[in-house]
Amino acid sequence: MPTHYETLGVEPSAPAEDIKRAYRALVKRWHPDKNPGDPQAEAKIRDINAAWDELSTPERRASYDLSLTNPTPSRVGPQWNQAQWSQAQWSQAQRQAQWQAQWQAQRGQMRPVKLSSTQALVGGVVLIAVVLPLLALLAVVYLSWVILRALVNALLGPPQARQA
């Protein structure tokens, strides 16, 4: 079974524009309207459209390319052996380690954000405008509880006297 690249007649390294150009040329040649009743044309156009669906977006193309370089047992059939499976898993782990190393390198290149004095002042004002009222509310609630407790103790006596 040919790859999608072979179906479109392009190399796997072909840029997206070449793939698009090849797809359009093949669609013009094999379109069912130009080949009415030709079963070969119908099969060809189905394969061409399937190839285009897979290769037209960068994400799907990358996934397809990965499946070509790292096939799974279900794709290659019963001749897949344990050594091939182990090799595929090892190469996938190696690629993942490379991607992780690249990500860590990019993270290391990130710089902390430096705020201007105006931005810092605005941030401080917002913090004060939000935090101080909350602290004041908390203080009011606490003082209200203390006063209420003192009133209850004054009216009913201390908690030990009420239990007896």
pTM for this prediction: 0.45
Mean pLDDT of 59-77: 74
Mean pLDDT of 63-92: 69
How does residue 87 score in pLDDT terms, banded at 50, 70 and 90?
confident
Domain ranges of the chain: 4-71+85-107, 117-163
pLDDT score for 47: 94
- Cα dihedral: 62, 65, 71, 75 (round 10): 90
Tens of pLDDT along 95-141?
888 888 888 777 777 777 788 888 888 888 888 888 888 999 999 99
Between these two residues, 164 and 45, which has the higher pLDDT value? 45
Share of the chain above pLDDT 70, in %: 88
How does residue 80 score in pLDDT terms, banded at 50, 70 and 90?
low
CATH 3.90.700.10 corresponds to the domain 4-71+85-107:
no
Inter-residue contact 26 to 9 (CB < 8 Å) = yes
**CA pair distance 73, 15, nearest whole angstrom:** 29
For residue 156, pLDDT beyond 80: yes
Cβ atoms within 10 Å of 152's Cβ, excluding its own: 13
